[in-house]
């Protein structure tokens, strides 16, 4: 059955949004779009390079441009950068055009995953192992109220097939 709205996966860095969105899109036979990848492709630079060259406010406004680029797209599965839903205008767009799903993952698991690719993430790159864990815990606590506004909350602590089954049950 065709989707009536986009499906938008929200959550913290390392929650598995991109992997799950890609797999879910394949199952549903619709496109997968990642807000970070869209920004990287349109700017022809990595997120790290964008932050270094232009700073965070510019990156956040590129993220917002992503919502405008979606106006002409068929309903798709979208993985959103971890900070994307925090901006009021992005949240407004999500609530109007998407079925939103928060992938809720425990701090311990996020930490174990992020430890492996910390360097490629500008918010985490300069933290040592000890401060990485406390940063994740406090940032997640700060953001969770935003993520929890999603239409659905799904436990993302399981394997990809387990989480996909949970997601499919909602759609
Ligand atoms: C960010 C998350 C990243 C990326 C940027 C900022 C955040 O995306 O958009 O580094 O503020 O949480 P992922 O959640 O896909 O890693």
Q: How far apart (Å, rounded) are the C-alpha atoms in residues 93 and 95? A: 6
- In whole numbers, what is the pLDDT of the chain averaged over residues? 96
The CATH T-level fold of domain 6-157 is Rossmann fold (3.40.50)
Asked if residue 29 has pLDDT above 90, the reply is: yes
> How do the domains of the chain map onto residue ranges?
6-157
Whole-model pTM: value is 0.96
Q: Indicate the top mutation candidate among 81, 86, 87, 156 to test ligand 1's pocket, ranked by most ligand atoms within 8 A of CB.
A: 81
Confidence label for 1 from pLDDT (cuts 50, 70 and 90): low
Atom 8 in ligand 1: residue holding the nearest Cα: 81
pLDDT score at 130: 87
Q: How far apart (Å, rounded) are the C-alpha atoms in residues 109 and 156? A: 10
Region 87-104 average pLDDT? 97
Confidence label for 2 from pLDDT (cuts 50, 70 and 90): confident
| 90 Cα to the center of ligand 1, angstroms | 14
Region 66-81 average pLDDT? 95
For residue 81, with 0-12 CB atoms within 10 Å meaning exposed, 13-18 middle and 19 or more buried, which class applies? buried
Closest CA to 8 of 114, 125, 111, 90: 90
Region 99-114 average pLDDT? 98
Q: Indicate the top mutation candidate among 9, 10, 12, 13 to test ligand 1's pocket, ranked by most ligand atoms within 8 A of CB.
A: 13
């Amino acid at each position: 059955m065709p989707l009536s709205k986009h499906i938008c996966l929200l959550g913290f860095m390392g929650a598995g949004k991109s992997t799950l969105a890609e797999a879910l899109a394949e199952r549903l036979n619709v496109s997968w779009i990642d807000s970070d990848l869209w920004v990287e492709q349109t700017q022809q630079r990595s997120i790290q390079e964008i932050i270094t060259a232009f700073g965070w406010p510019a990156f956040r406004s590129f993220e917002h441009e992503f919502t405008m680029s979606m106006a002409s797209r068929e309903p798709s599965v979208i993985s959103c950068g971890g900070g994307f839903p925090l901006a009021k205008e992005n949240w407004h767009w999500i609530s109007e055009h998407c079925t939103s799903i928060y992938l809720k993952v425990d701090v311990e698991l996020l930490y174990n995953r992020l430890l492996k690719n910390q360097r490629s993430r500008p918010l985490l790159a300069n933290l040592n192992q000890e401060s990485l864990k406390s940063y994740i815990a406090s940032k997640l606590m700060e953001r969770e109220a935003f993520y929890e506004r999603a239409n659905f909350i799904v436990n993302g602590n399981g394997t990809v097939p387990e989480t996909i089954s949970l997601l499919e049950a909602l759609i």
